C-alpha cells in the first residue's frame, strides 16, 4: 500500500507536522456517493470523488463508520471494528481508498467508536450468555436500585433511560445511547488492550488517524451516583431536551479520561497518526484538557454547531476558546449530527452569508477547521417527509428532534437523485436544484463553492492565519471580533450594523471578504459590512 512520507520535524502539533495549517472535510459515508446502484453510499464511491476534494483544497478526509454493523444507529453501533460492512464495500476497497488519497496528497482519518459497541458484538453476546465470563466486565452491568428499577437516574441521549434490564441475570446494563449500543467499561485494562490492537490494525493499513466518537464519555464515575436535574422537563420534551435537562457530572467528562488518551498516543506516535476527539464538553478550560501535552492532538468544539444565530455568543465562544487554546481545536459549525448552518442561521442567502462569515473567522483561529459535506455549497437542511425519516432519535420517540435533515445525499448534479445514485437513496429527500449542486456551482464563479475554495487556499498561502501568535484587539462591540496574527488582520463583524475600523495610513489588501471585495485595497477609516468577515494583510 502506498503511504505518504511521514515528516518528523516538529510543528504546532509536535511531530505531526502534516496537521499544521490543514483543513479537514467530513464524509458521511452513507450519503456521499453510491458506486454500485443500491442507494447506499460506499467506499468505492468516495474513492471516485477524491479528485473533487483535492480540487476543493482540503487536506484531511474524515470518514464516518463503515465497519460491520446492524445499523441501528447507522454505523455507530459497531459489531466488528476490523471488518467492513458489506453495504459499504470490502477491506480491499478501504485499502484502495487510502492508496488513492495518499497519491493525491490527502490524509485519511477514520471514525472509531470506543464508548460503546453494538449489542451484536461478540463481546456483548458472550457477556449476556455467561455472566461469569471475562467479557461481562467489558461492559457496565449493575444491580437494580432497591425498588427494582434502574441503578440511577441517568438518561440516554436517545431516550428515555440509560439502563436496560438483562432479564436473564436481573442486572441492568448502561447505554448512553440506544439499548443496542451498550457502553464499554474503560476502567477494565482488557478493554484498553483490545483497542490498542484495533488501532494498530488500521494504522498498519495506512490510515492517518482517528476521530474518536464520544471521547468525553468513556469513563463514568465508579460509584454511579444520580446526576442533578437542572431544569424542569416538559411533558412533551424530546429525548435531547430531556438529556440536557441534567448536569452530567458523573456520566460524562470525568477527570481521568485523559489517562486513556495518553495511552493511545503511545500507540499512534510511531505511525505519526493523529487522534481527534469528538467532545461535547462546552467549558473552555475543561475542553483544553483534552489536548494538553501527552493527550490528544485535536478536539472538536461542538457547541457552535448547536447554536442558532447569536453574534455576540458566537464570538464569546469561538474567540474565548481560541485565547485559551489556539492550536488544538478543530473548529466546526456543522456535522452529521447537527442541522445545516445555512438553515439554523436564518435560511436563504442570509443564512448562507452568515455561515461563511463564521467559517472565515474560524479559519483565522488556528487549529484544524473542518467542513461537513455540502457545507461548501451553502446547502440548507434537506426536505424529508415524516414517513421517510430514518434517525432513531425521531423514529423511536415520535419527535422532530432528528438528524436526517443534515444526512441527505450529496448533491453532485441534476441527474435523478442528484447524481448520488442510480436508484432511490436510502434516505428519501427532495432533489436539490441546480444552484445547490457541485456541477451547478462549479460553473458559477460567484457560487459559495468557489468562495470556500478560495478561503481554503488562502489559509495555505498565508500561514500567519494559523501559526502566528493570536492577539485579540478590543473592537468596542460584542458582535465584532478583531484578531491580529502576524501580518494578518481578521475583522469579523457578525452584527447587523456596519463596523468602522481605522487601518491607519498604510495600504491593506483584502485577501478575503465573506461577502465580496476580494483583492480590494483599503486604508484609513474602513467600513466592514454587516455579517461579513474580512481578512487583510499589508499591501505589497
Mean pLDDT of 255-260: 93
pLDDT in tens, 77-103: 999 999 999 999 999 999 999 999 999
Report the C-alpha gap between 104 and 107 in whole angstroms.
9
Report the C-alpha gap between 326 and 220 in whole angstroms.
29
Mean pLDDT of 253-269: 95
Question: Residue 390 — pLDDT band, cuts 50, 70, 90?
Answer: confident
Q: Which of 180, 213, 375, 479 is catalytic?
A: 213
Can you give the pLDDT at residue 209?
98
Q: Catalytic: 376?
A: no
- Which residue would you say has higher pLDDT here, 390 or 438? 438
Mean pLDDT of 513-524: 87
What is the distance, to the nearest Å, from the Cα of residue 10 to the centroid of all Cα atoms in its chain? Answer: 26
pLDDT cut 70: percent of the chain above it = 97
Report the C-alpha gap between 42 and 39 in whole angstroms.
9
Can you give the pLDDT at residue 249?
97
DSSP code of residue 351: H
Grid coordinates belonging to 23: 483543513
- Which residue would you say has higher pLDDT here, 102 or 234? 102
Instruction: Read off the pTM.
Output: 0.95
Can you give the pLDDT at residue 488?
96
Grid coordinates belonging to 425: 437513496
Report the C-alpha gap between 119 and 69 in whole angstroms.
10
Q: Catalytic: 278?
A: yes
Can you give the pLDDT at residue 479?
98
Can you give the pLDDT at residue 12?
63
Numbered ranges of CATH 3.20.20.80 in the chain: 17-117+191-354+366-437
Quick check: 417 and 427 in contact, CB under 8 A? no
Can you give the pLDDT at residue 324?
96
User: Looking at the predicted structure, is the pLDDT value of residue 8 above 80?
Assistant: no
What is the distance, to the nearest Å, from the Cα of residue 394 to the centroid of all Cα atoms in its chain? Answer: 21
User: Looking at the predicted structure, is the pLDDT value of residue 520 above 70?
Assistant: yes
Report the C-alpha gap between 514 and 360 in whole angstroms.
7
In DSSP terms, which residues pair with 492 in a beta bridge?
481, 533
Numbered ranges of CATH 3.90.400.10 in the chain: 122-174
Q: Looking at domain 122-174, what is its CATH homologous superfamily?
A: Oligo-1,6-glucosidase; Domain 2 (3.90.400.10)
Tell whether the torsion through CA atoms of 474, 477, 478 and 479 is positive or negative.
negative
Distances (CA, A) of 242 to 77, 178, 228, 247, 379: 22, 15, 13, 11, 29
Long-range (24+ apart) CB contacts under 8 A made by 254-258 are 254/219, 254/220, 254/221, 256/219, 257/215, 257/216, 257/218, 257/219, 257/290, 258/289, 258/290, 258/292, 258/295
User: Looking at the predicted structure, is the pLDDT value of residue 151 above 50?
Assistant: yes
Grid coordinates belonging to 399: 419527535
Instruction: Give the 3-state DSSP-derived string for 227-248, with helices as H, strands as E and coil as C.
Output: CCECCCCCCCCCHHHHHCCECC
- Closest Cα partner for 528 from 486, 294, 106, 508? 508
| Cα angle, residue 344 at apex, residues 33 and 328 outer, rounded to 5° | 75
Q: What is the mean pLDDT of the chain?
A: 94
Can you give the pLDDT at residue 9?
34
Question: Residue 13 — pLDDT band, cuts 50, 70, 90?
Answer: low
Question: Residue 159 — pLDDT band, cuts 50, 70, 90?
Answer: confident
Could you write out the DSSP letters of every residue in 2-35?
A: -------S-BTTBT-GGGTT--EEEE-GGGT--S
Could you write out the DSSP letters of every residue in 419-474?
A: GS-SS--SS--PPPPGGGSHHHHHT-TTSHHHHHHHHHHHHHH-THHHHSPEEEEP
Mean pLDDT of 440-453: 97
The CATH fold of domain 17-117+191-354+366-437: TIM Barrel (3.20.20)
Mean pLDDT of 205-222: 98
Mean pLDDT of 198-219: 98
Q: Which of 42, 272, 278, 337 is catalytic?
A: 278
Can you give the pLDDT at residue 15?
67
pLDDT in tens, 172-185: 999 999 999 999 99
3-state secondary structure of 146: coil
Amino acid at each position: 500500500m502506498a503511504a505518504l512520507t511521514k515528516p518528523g520535524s516538529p510543528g504546532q502539533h509536535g511531530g505531526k507536522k502534516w496537521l499544521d495549517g490543514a483543513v479537514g472535510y467530513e464524509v458521511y459515508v452513507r450519503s456521499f456517493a453510491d458506486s454500485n446502484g443500491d442507494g447506499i453510499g460506499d467506499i468505492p464511491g468516495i474513492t471516485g470523488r477524491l479528485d473533487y476534494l483535492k480540487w476543493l483544497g482540503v487536506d484531511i478526509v474524515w470518514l464516518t463508520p463503515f465497519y460491520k454493523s446492524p445499523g441501528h444507529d447507522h454505523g455507530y453501533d459497531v459489531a466488528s471494528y476490523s471488518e467492513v460492512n458489506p453495504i459499504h464495500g470490502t477491506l480491499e476497497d478501504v485499502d484502495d481508498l487510502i492508496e488513492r488519497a495518499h497519491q493525491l496528497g490527502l490524509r485519511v482519518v477514520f471514525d472509531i467508536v470506543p464508548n460503546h459497541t453494538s449489542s451484536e458484538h461478540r463481546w456483548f453476546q458472550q457477556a449476556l450468555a455467561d455472566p461469569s465470563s471475562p467479557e461481562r466486565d467489558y461492559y457496565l452491568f449493575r444491580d437494580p436500585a432497591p425498588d427494582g428499577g434502574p441503578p440511577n437516574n441517568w438518561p440516554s441521549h436517545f431516550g428515555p433511560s440509560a439502563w436496560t434490564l438483562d432479564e436473564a441475570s436481573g442486572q441492568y446494563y448502561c447505554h448512553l445511547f440506544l439499548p443496542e449500543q451498550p457502553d464499554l467499561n474503560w476502567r477494565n485494562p482488557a478493554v484498553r488492550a483490545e483497542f490498542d490492537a484495533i488501532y494498530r490494525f488500521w494504522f498498519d493499513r495506512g490510515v492517518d488517524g482517528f476521530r474518536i466518537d464520544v471521547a468525553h464519555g468513556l469513563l463514568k464515575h465508579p460509584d454511579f451516583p444520580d446526576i442533578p436535574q437542572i431544569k424542569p422537563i416538559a411533558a412533551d420534551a424530546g429525548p435531547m431536551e430531556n438529556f440536557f435537562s441534567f448536569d452530567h457530572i458523573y456520566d460524562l467528562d470525568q477527570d481521568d479520561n485523559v489517562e486513556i488518551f495518553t495511552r493511545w498516543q503511545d500507540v499512534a506516535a510511531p505511525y505519526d497518526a493523529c487522534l481527534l476527539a469528538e467532545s461535547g464538553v462546552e467549558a473552555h478550560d475543561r475542553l483544553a484538557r483534552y489536548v494538553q501535552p501527552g493527550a490528544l492532538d485535536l478536539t472538536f468544539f461542538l457547541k457552535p454547531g448547536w447554536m442558532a444565530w447569536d453574534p455576540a455568543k458566537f464570538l464569546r465562544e469561538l474567540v474565548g476558546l481560541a485565547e485559551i487554546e489556539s492550536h488544538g481545536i478543530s473548529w466546526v459549525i456543522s456535522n452529521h449530527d447537527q442541522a445545516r448552518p445555512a438553515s439554523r442561521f436564518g435560511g436563504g442567502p442570509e443564512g448562507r452569508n452568515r455561515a461563511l462569515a463564521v467559517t472565515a473567522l474560524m479559519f483565522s483561529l488556528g487549529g484544524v477547521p473542518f467542513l461537513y459535506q455540502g457545507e461548501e455549497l451553502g446547502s440548507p437542511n434537506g426536505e424529508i417527509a415524516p414517513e421517510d425519516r430514518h434517525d432513531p432519535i425521531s423514529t423511536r420517540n415520535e419527535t422532530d428532534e432528528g438528524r436526517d435533515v443534515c444526512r441527505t445525499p450529496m448533491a453532485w448534479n441534476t441527474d435523478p437523485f442528484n447524481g448520488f445514485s442510480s436508484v432511490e437513496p436510502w434516505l428519501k429527500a427532495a432533489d436539490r436544484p441546480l444552484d445547490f449542486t457541485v456541477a451547478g456551482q462549479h460553473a458559477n464563479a460567484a457560487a459559495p463553492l468557489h468562495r470556500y475554495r478560495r478561503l481554503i487556499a488562502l489559509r495555505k498561502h498565508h500561514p500567519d492565519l494559523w501559526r502566528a501568535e493570536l492577539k485579540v484587539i478590543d473592537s468596542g462591540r460584542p458582535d465584532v471580533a478583531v484578531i491580529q496574527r502576524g501580518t494578518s488582520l481578521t475583522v469579523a463583524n457578525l452584527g447587523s450594523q456596519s463596523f468602522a475600523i481605522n487601518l491607519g495610513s498604510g495600504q491593506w489588501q483584502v485577501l478575503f471578504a465573506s461577502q465580496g471585495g476580494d483583492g480590494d485595497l483599503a486604508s484609513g477609516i474602513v467600513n466592514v459590512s454587516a455579517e461579513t468577515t474580512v481578512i487583510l494583510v499589508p499591501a505589497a
